[in-house]
């Protein structure tokens, strides 16, 4: 018969083993934390740029669907750049699209809005009414990604027919 104190009967984990496992997890977390943080920053940056592109595409779709002029208006406010979709209720009278909440571009990004009067106006046919080949894009730049030598610039270009192009690049 075995005694209860014999090595074969003892079970469990010692405090030293637990400390070793915790130390290994801490070392791995420290090693991978910059990558995780960088991935989150890149994802947030990418989502912001895609949100702008989606809003532009939605304004075009709404203009065609309702047969009313719609616009995406960018405003540089106190908390940074914000943008919204507005519809033209009567000539020169614009109102925020029902159900659309104004969106804000985080102030940590540098924003360049290059549209006439910071506005894109879509006709009921989906064409841009105020198109200018010299002013047809919005660019956001992330200084944090620039300092890490990663693609830090996203540009959404809008063409006369209402289509968009999304590009990712590094600052020169």
For the chain, the domains span: 15-169
* CA–CA gap between residue 172 and residue 170 (Å, rounded): 6
**Which pTM does this prediction carry?**
0.78
Q: In this structure, what are the phi and psi dihedrals at residue 130, rounded to the nearest 5 degrees?
A: -105, 40
Average pLDDT, the chain: 88
Burial of 78 (0-12, 13-18, 19+ CB in 10 A): exposed
Classified by CATH at the fold level, domain 15-169 comes out as minor pseudopilin epsh fold (3.55.40)
Question: In the chain, where does DSSP find H-type helix?
Answer: 15-66, 143-147
pLDDT at 7: 57
- Helix, strand, coil percentages (3-state) for the chain, rounded to 5, are 35, 30, 35
For 79-129, the pLDDT digits (tens) are 889 999 999 999 999 999 999 999 999 999 999 999 999 999 999 999 999
Among residues 73, 82, 79, 77, which one has the least CA distance to residue 104?
Answer: 82
* pLDDT greater than 90 at residue 14: no
pLDDT at 5: 60
pLDDT at 40: 80
pLDDT at 8: 55
Tokens of 82: 């914000």
């Amino acid at each position: 018969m075995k005694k209860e104190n014999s090595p074969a009967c003892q079970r469990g984990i010692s405090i030293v083993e637990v400390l070793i496992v915790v130390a290994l997890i801490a070392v791995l977390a420290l090693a991978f934390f910059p990558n995780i943080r960088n991935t989150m920053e890149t994802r947030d940056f990418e989502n912001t740029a895609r949100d702008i592109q989606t809003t532009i595409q939605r304004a075009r779709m709404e203009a065609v669907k309702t047969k009313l002029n719609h616009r995406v208006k960018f405003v540089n406010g106190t908390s940074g750049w914000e943008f919204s979709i507005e519809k033209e209720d009567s000539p020169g009278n614009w109102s925020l699209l029902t159900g659309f909440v104004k969106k804000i571009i985080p102030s940590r990004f540098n924003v360049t809005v290059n549209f006439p009067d910071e506005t894109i106006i879509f006709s009921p046919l989906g064409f841009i009414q105020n198109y200018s080949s010299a002013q047809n894009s919005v660019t956001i730049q992330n200084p944090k990604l620039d300092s890490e030598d990663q693609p830090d610039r996203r540009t959404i270009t809008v063409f006369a027919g209402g289509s968009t192009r999304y590009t990712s690049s590094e600052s020169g």
